[in-house]
A and B are shown apart, each in its own frame.
Chain A
């Protein structure tokens, strides 16, 4: 039996081990691990210029451009969309988002929302959908026109999974969301990009 596993950066030894386990007949255990791997899309870490961390002050500044490039009909944050980017921040850090809209055709916003199941992504999102106090740009359900922007500052307190989400009508539903995680185990902010994602802001 041959199973397809996603390519994972730095995971080659693990895959070799799994193959070895298969060869030795430990099929059940190996299969379990392979399924775990297949269930998760592979990630690669990014060290972007648009994220600057100050460990001493426990503060991270994130520059996010809506419509950074033409990916996803310009419905993207720094070129990423549909969860292809994940920003991780340690608990207790202050997050400052410098948001700008680059899309000359449509207004955009950024809210931190809860993650939504695929069939429950809201068509429009406003203040009521914000999951972390004050974590939203001006007029989140209407957006901000290009070339304007807004600054957002909030405290990363409750560990968990969140989304960066554009609340303008139809935009989040159209894939204009990326992942945001507050991680109790993390010691520094990080960014990971789903392997195979269209190229975004480096």
Chain B
């Protein structure tokens, strides 16, 4: 594949950065150029970003597989990584090569036609401390590089052809609980990533790294310091003491008590360990020069006693200048969260019907709360919130020492699982969990926690989540109309769902389950059209690609640690007879 310098690219790149990027691409025989990365959503051949297009619609614009022929979908090849763990990867395909990341940060390049391994890179982990499994959700390809992040909080670039390491940059100190599990997002010459670790009292951030040399270009902390001015003019992370979620649901806050605590100086340093991970891939709006990021829970998860205030920008959706790292707007779903209800599922960029009926540029996010939120992309204003996709009971009742039953459970709703949006059906397809649990609070100061951590590195939850044995857990796939907020259809599953979805121009939705079922559904009705038994949990988001005009669907089938779905090590690739 030849390489030319698009005029738009020349304009949008800075001279130095642009020259560096272009020189790096010049020798690549199969380069995923910035132009290709930008237009990823307009073609069905390659899948170069984690979410398909930079806006993460997970919409595969091919109708070669559709309701009339999906029944003929057959396994074409299986790639066994041999790495056992929680397999959450979405494969990347570019120029006939598939790139797969695994638990414990192995990277494989595989011939996308035959399934033959081309190279294997095993990252040598340092100290890694992670709450919820040895996960890695994917790589991204740009130019002649494959980029990925690691459990011990590094970002690494490999040569796409050889698998040799090009650079390796430490993002944060993994010894104190920072870790990385997300696929990077690409903007011009930058790889943009968030950080995980809010179960360990980290201070979250989003950073941008130069793709050529791995040097950090900017960093924005998700938890503002006391002298940092927010988009609404307030300073720090205490906020305006919002008492309702989305101005609708009472959060049962003791605002007077929180203000008194602040006046007494309590928690004045709490922002330094306030959590706020950004642990799934961000959406990129190239024309606006913005990224959109879901920000996770505050630290500690269940105990708000030592962090009075709104705890901005935990549990938020934020828009950040992709060139500078300056926050443009932020919308906090749950001020002063004490239920671990992160914003985590990757944001999606799409046009949506506004309140006045006109189509507007929007950003869509599905929450652990079980709602799908639709925001104005320029202002962050909430246009609408969907019907609840999972049961809500005793919503936002405060955790107690004895335990408070509240639905949804702390995994959701929608966990990290990416949703997929189909612009033709107007539906956003999300997988949900229903896990009844009791929320328990237990106060532990930061100093006491650090003593415990020094003895054995462990989580700072401020309590516990206790299962309710008598209540059944289950899951569902929900199709939500983003123009109305109404649920068009749901498919209930025996087990909680985690992994994500793919939707296609052929009006299909693909999703996997923990029991090994990988299935295709009619995108308009939810009718099951085809299924395959993978023999291990299918708990990853699928993708599509074409080679030689032939369409393929791929998905990782390797189970899930947190929900204890059966392990395997397979990447399954399906094609038509």
Binding site for B on A (CB under 8 A): 67, 69-75, 81-82, 101-107, 121, 123, 142-147, 168-170, 173-176
| Known pairs A73-B464, A104-B410, A104-B435; A175 contacts B458 (CB<8 A) | yes
**A70 to B301 Cα, complex, angstroms:** 12
**A123 to B130 Cα, complex, angstroms:** 11
Judge whether B455 and A175 touch: CB under 8 Å.
Answer: yes
Nearest residue in A to B470 (C-beta to C-beta)? Answer: A147
Judge whether A147 and B468 touch: CB under 8 Å.
Answer: yes
Show 29 residue pairs from A and B whose CB-CB distance is below 8 angstroms, ordered by the A residue.
A67-B464, A69-B440, A70-B440, A70-B442, A72-B456, A73-B464, A74-B461, A75-B459, A82-B455, A82-B456, A103-B464, A103-B465, A103-B466, A104-B438, A104-B466, A105-B411, A107-B561, A107-B562, A142-B564, A142-B567, A146-B467, A168-B561, A169-B133, A169-B561, A170-B129, A173-B129, A173-B456, A173-B457, A175-B455
Nearest residue in B to A108 (C-beta to C-beta)? Answer: B564
**A175 to B411 Cα, complex, angstroms:** 23
**A121 to B133 Cα, complex, angstroms:** 17
Which one of A71, A147, A169, A176 contacts B467 once the chains associate, using CB atoms below 8 Å? A147
Q: Give the chain A neighbours of B411 by CB distance below 8 A.
A: 105
**A196 to B452 Cα, complex, angstroms:** 13
Task: Select the residue from A82, A104, A143, A174 with max chain B CB neighbours within 10 A.
Answer: A104
Q: Give the chain B neighbours of A170 by CB distance below 8 A.
A: 129-131
Q: Give the chain A neighbours of B129 by CB distance below 8 A.
A: 170, 173-174
**A144 to B564 Cα, complex, angstroms:** 7
Binding site for A on B (CB under 8 A): 85, 128-134, 199, 409-411, 435, 437-438, 440-442, 452, 455-461, 463-469, 561-564, 567
Judge whether A169 and B564 touch: CB under 8 Å.
Answer: no
| Known pairs A101-B467, A107-B561, A146-B467; A75 contacts B442 (CB<8 A) | no
**A103 to B437 Cα, complex, angstroms:** 9
Q: Give the chain A neighbours of B458 by CB distance below 8 A.
A: 72-73, 75, 174-176
Judge whether A103 and B463 touch: CB under 8 Å.
Answer: no
Q: Give the chain B neighbours of A174 by CB distance below 8 A.
A: 129, 456-459
Q: Give the chain B neighbours of A106 by CB distance below 8 A.
A: 131-132, 562
Q: How far is the CB of B454 from chain A (nearest CB, A)?
A: 11
Q: How far is the CB of A172 from chain B (nearest CB, A)?
A: 9
Q: Give the chain A neighbours of B564 by CB distance below 8 A.
A: 107, 142-145
Q: Give the chain B neighbours of A69 by CB distance below 8 A.
A: 440, 442, 464
**A16 to B509 Cα, complex, angstroms:** 77
**A161 to B409 Cα, complex, angstroms:** 39
| 14 additional A-B residue pairs with CB within 8 Å, beyond A104-B410, A121-B456 | A67-B464, A75-B458, A102-B466, A103-B465, A103-B466, A104-B409, A104-B465, A104-B466, A104-B467, A142-B564, A143-B564, A147-B468, A169-B130, A169-B133
Nearest residue in B to A146 (C-beta to C-beta)? Answer: B467
Judge whether A70 and B435 touch: CB under 8 Å.
Answer: no
**A73 to B456 Cα, complex, angstroms:** 11
**A69 to B302 Cα, complex, angstroms:** 14
Q: Give the 3 A-B residue pairs with the shortest CB-CB distance, closest first.
A: A175-B456, A146-B467, A147-B469
Nearest residue in B to A121 (C-beta to C-beta)? Answer: B456
**Secondary structure class of chain A's binding surface, majority of residues:** loop
Q: How far is the CB of A201 from chain B (nearest CB, A)?
A: 14
Q: Give the chain B neighbours of A71 by CB distance below 8 A.
A: 442
Which one of B85, B456, B563 contacts A169 once the chains associate, using CB atoms below 8 Å? B85
Judge whether B466 and A145 touch: CB under 8 Å.
Answer: no
Q: How far is the CB of B254 from chain A (nearest CB, A)?
A: 21
Q: How far is the CB of A109 from chain B (nearest CB, A)?
A: 10
Q: Give the chain B neighbours of A103 by CB distance below 8 A.
A: 464-467
Nearest residue in A to B300 (C-beta to C-beta)? Answer: A73
Q: Give the chain A neighbours of B567 by CB distance below 8 A.
A: 142
Task: Select the residue from B440, B452, B468 with max chain A CB neighbours within 10 A.
Answer: B452
| Known pairs A170-B129, A174-B459; A72 contacts B452 (CB<8 A) | yes
Judge whether B456 and A105 touch: CB under 8 Å.
Answer: no
**A121 to B129 Cα, complex, angstroms:** 13
Q: How far is the CB of A31 from chain B (nearest CB, A)?
A: 28
Judge whether B456 and A70 touch: CB under 8 Å.
Answer: no
Q: Give the chain A neighbours of B409 by CB distance below 8 A.
A: 104
Q: How far is the CB of B300 from chain A (nearest CB, A)?
A: 9
Q: Give the chain A neighbours of B134 by CB distance below 8 A.
A: 169
Q: Give the chain B neighbours of A107 by CB distance below 8 A.
A: 561-562, 564
Judge whether A142 and B561 touch: CB under 8 Å.
Answer: yes
Q: Give the chain B neighbours of A75 by CB distance below 8 A.
A: 458-459
Judge whether A102 and B463 touch: CB under 8 Å.
Answer: no
**A169 to B562 Cα, complex, angstroms:** 10
Q: Give the chain A neighbours of B410 by CB distance below 8 A.
A: 104-105
Q: Give the chain A neighbours of B452 by CB distance below 8 A.
A: 72, 175
Q: Give the chain A neighbours of B463 by CB distance below 8 A.
A: 70
Q: Give the chain B neighbours of A121 by CB distance below 8 A.
A: 456
**A144 to B440 Cα, complex, angstroms:** 21
**A72 to B455 Cα, complex, angstroms:** 11
Nearest residue in B to A67 (C-beta to C-beta)? Answer: B464
Judge whether A70 and B469 touch: CB under 8 Å.
Answer: no
Q: Give the chain B neighbours of A143 by CB distance below 8 A.
A: 561, 564
Nearest residue in B to A106 (C-beta to C-beta)? Answer: B562
Q: Give the chain A neighbours of B133 by CB distance below 8 A.
A: 169
Q: How far is the CB of A117 from chain B (nearest CB, A)?
A: 13
Judge whether A145 and B85 touch: CB under 8 Å.
Answer: no
**A104 to B459 Cα, complex, angstroms:** 15
Q: Give the chain B neighbours of A175 by CB distance below 8 A.
A: 452, 455-456, 458
Judge whether B466 and A73 touch: CB under 8 Å.
Answer: no
**A175 to B467 Cα, complex, angstroms:** 21
| Known pairs A103-B465, A104-B467, A145-B563; A73 contacts B130 (CB<8 A) | no
Q: How far is the CB of B176 from chain A (nearest CB, A)?
A: 14
Which one of B128, B130, B469, B562 contacts A105 once the chains associate, using CB atoms below 8 Å? B562
**A71 to B452 Cα, complex, angstroms:** 10
**A105 to B498 Cα, complex, angstroms:** 14
Q: Give the chain A neighbours of B85 by CB distance below 8 A.
A: 169
Nearest residue in A to B440 (C-beta to C-beta)? Answer: A70
Judge whether A74 and B455 touch: CB under 8 Å.
Answer: no
Q: Give the chain A neighbours of B456 by CB distance below 8 A.
A: 72, 81-82, 121, 173-175
**A82 to B132 Cα, complex, angstroms:** 20
Q: How far is the CB of A168 from chain B (nearest CB, A)?
A: 8
**A174 to B567 Cα, complex, angstroms:** 23
Q: Give the chain A neighbours of B466 by CB distance below 8 A.
A: 67, 102-104, 146
Task: Select the residue from A106, A144, A173 with max chain B CB neighbours within 10 A.
Answer: A106
**A101 to B132 Cα, complex, angstroms:** 16
Q: Give the chain B neighbours of A144 by CB distance below 8 A.
A: 564
Q: Give the chain B neighbours of A73 by CB distance below 8 A.
A: 199, 458-461, 464
